[in-house]
Chain A
Amino acid sequence: MIPALLPSTPPTSPVIPLGPWVEAFIEFLTETLGWFFGGLRAAFGGLYDVVDLALAAPPFWAVIAVVTLLGLYLRGWLFAAGSALGLVLIVLLGQWGNAMDTLALVLVASAIAIIVSVPLGILAARSGTASAVIKPILDFMQTMPAFVYLIPALILFRVGVVPGIVATIIFAMAPGVRMTELGIRGVDKEVVEAAHAFGSSPARILRQIQLPLAMPTILAGINQVIMLSLSMVVIAGMVGAGGLGGQVVASLNRIDVALGFEAGLSVVILAIILDRLTAALGRPRTKLFRRTPAPDAAADAPARAAEPVAA
């Protein structure tokens, strides 16, 4: 009988030493490419310090004012007022400094993720082969539990904010690539063909037609990248990135419900503001400018209300 030939229970330790292989590979990387990772560490760390300084150095009310104005420009007064209230709440909770550290980390990680993912998305949109290679890698990066690449990131970049940034970039990059590819592939084929028919070069077509027409989709991807980055904050806190994530990790260690809630609520406020602001980027300049024709609509309303109501 065939079943008799097989062991009655599956092995509980690996038969194929896949894990050790990866370990050996990481070791090999640290030894031979140490200079490279050192350089990356310095660059990412430096970038973070600059952004963090820009956010933390000015008085908190100045930062709040800037965010409020941005909200007013992109979405309207209601959102602006809400943002201001939320940020004041963070200040009152005593989490302002941590929130700015977190914001700096999210902005730096998102920016790098976008700078890497948009060109990758363009490449995937233009070549079927590139797309076929990139897709499974993205799936792998996004579904592998984030803690797992925290470990090699720690080894390669040592404790601090940089392994947090790197893990965040890897985890958050996928939607940037996917949505860029989707957006460009979704541009009307005939329009692109027409541009070719008039003798346009591929670079001109990308710049003048494909990117502008794909922009709403690409911006939706960028919004997702930022949201995913924010969701990595706590995990980044575990490797010493500090900020709100560090507070949550500390409250976990101390079983401090109050601190956990305060830090968690601050993350939520940041998330909502960032989400709504970046979502508004894809739409034409809003409310503030749409206000102008609005009186017409408002004028209609009483007229309509005055009409006899049909039984």
Chain B
Amino acid sequence: MSDNPYPAVPTAPAVRAAALYKAFGRKPLDTVARLRAGAERGSLPAEQTAAVIDATFEVKRGEIFVVMGLSGSGKSTLIRMLNGLLAPTSGTVEVAGTTITGLAPKQLRAVRRQSVSMVFQHFALLPHRTVIDNVAYGLEVQGVPLEERRARANTIIGIVGLAGWEDKLPAQLSGGMQQRVGLARALAADTDILLMDEAFSALDPLIRREMQEQLVELQAELGKTIIFITHDLNEAMFLGDRIAVMRDGRIVQIGTPEEILTDPANDYVAQFVQDVDRARVLTASSVMEPARAIVSLSAGPRAALRTMRDLQTSAAYVLGNGRTLLGVVRDRDVIRQVKNRETDLSLVVRHDLSAVDADTNLSDLVEASVESDLPLAVVDSRTRLLGVIPRVTLLAALGNVSSHTGEVPVMIDPPATIPVDVVTETLLATGGPTEPADAALEGSLR
């Protein structure tokens, strides 16, 4: 979905995890052996804990990769293996092409300084240091001289909106501001990869939303690779380019938010996504249906009228070259043209239709849908018609019910305003027999 900010060389993925296992408690290797032999997490003895089981995934450069799961599902353990804070019991982790598993402590520290920084749930700021010295901490560890690191920290402090607070201690700041410091500290370290463990979970809902939006903006601006942990599905869906859903230590599905929502891998995921705020996640392109009432401008009024008659609808979308959406025609206008034996359909094309971009969130479609008696036309960046969203479909998607379950086909187009007989008579009276070739356009977007 997002553009790759590292288009230059197709290098290694930002992070690659291969068959990661992490067991706590007694005999971790034995725990892993049992799990490999098919044991479930629940069937292990009490003194053996399997926190992460067989996790394999890749995080692309510049993407926001979200790991989502309930508390205790192993998210924190997983993310701590990605920067070596925890060593995997089995499996390997690669960061920007370097295998960090089994690296000596000194080299591991170098990887952390250069490639991976982290934001923590409870901020984890140094309580005895001012905001600016907290933000500059990563640079300090990297050995950047005082003046330079202060200058760089200052810039980042401005970016996260904390200007004027440089000399305060963390305890003098609100939770939201403290986490801005946490974020600034990670950004100032200037690593390509950012790990965020429930970074917004401790914040009030409003502050949280604000931070989420700011994170998305920052990511678009700075092109960091972000691995974001959350137990909140809405947050996952809002932030994630891709989401890994974890359950009891295992990754049960990896996919885009829409894939997870519309095509859950199993009942667990399906149940999980049941009460997500779908309006914020789903986009026009994920719920649209093929447009049926479409005519080509060059086909003329007779073809348009016939299409509308066959579909029993009062309006049709008019497409130009390359399927560009030109507008709509109404049956009343077209039948008048046919009666007058006019041939230029463009004279009656109306441009007052609602066309929406394919990436628009459903929440932003509701108003347009209410105001329009036509299904919303979904277009791409070059205004080519991709599909339509009838109001029924939009409501069904928002309510998470299928619009195709009923036996009676749902009426999705505006109903005809002129009786079929009248139309047929008009066509017969004004021209030859029906020209079947014209029907070819119909449904071609399926």
Contact = CB atoms under 8 A, between A and B. Distances in A.
B128 A213 contact: yes
B124 A188 contact: yes
B126 A200 contact: no
B141 A199 contact: yes
Contact of B118 (A191, A194, A204): A194
Given A190-B120, A204-B141, A197 B126 contact: no
Contacts of B116: 197
Contact of B141 (A190, A191, A193, A198): A198
A196 interface: yes
Interface in B337-383: none
B83 interface: yes
B141 A194 contact: no
Contacts of A213: 127-128
Q: Main secondary structure on chain A at its contact with chain B? A: helix
Given A193-B85, A194-B118, A204-B141, A199 B109 contact: yes
Contact of A209 (B85, B126, B142, B189): B126
Given A193-B85, A194-B118, A204-B141, A199 B110 contact: yes
A197 B112 contact: yes
Interface string B186-197: 000100000100
B240 interface: no
Nearest to A194: B124
A209 to B, nearest CB: 6
Contacts of A8: none
A306 to B, nearest CB: 33
Nearest to A189: B124
Contacts of A193: 85, 120, 124
A200 B124 contact: no
Interface in A19-33: none
Interface string B109-121: 1111110111011
B117 A198 contact: yes
Contacts of A196: 85, 112
Given A197-B117, A199-B109, A199-B113, A191 B125 contact: yes
Given A198-B113, A199-B109, 9 more contacts: A188-B124, A190-B120, A190-B122, A194-B120, A194-B125, A197-B112, A197-B116, A212-B128, A213-B128
A127 interface: no
Interface residues of A, number: 16
Contacts of B141: 195, 198-200, 204
B138 interface: yes
Nearest to B106: A201
Contact of B85 (A191, A197, A200): A197
Interface in B285-321: none
A276 B442 CA distance: 94
Interface string A204-220: 10000100110000000
Contacts of A195: 126, 137, 141
Contacts of B121: 190
Contacts of A188: 124, 127
A285 to B, nearest CB: 16
A277 to B, nearest CB: 24
A190 B123 CA distance: 8
B124 A190 contact: yes
Interface in A225-261: none
Interface in A37-65: none
Interface in B69-112: 83, 85, 109-112
29 contacts: A190-B120, A190-B121, A190-B123, A190-B124, A191-B124, A193-B124, A194-B120, A194-B124, A194-B125, A194-B126, A195-B126, A196-B85, A196-B112, A197-B85, A197-B117, A197-B118, A198-B113, A198-B118, A198-B138, A199-B110, A199-B111, A199-B112, A199-B113, A199-B142, A200-B109, A200-B141, A204-B141, A213-B127, A213-B128
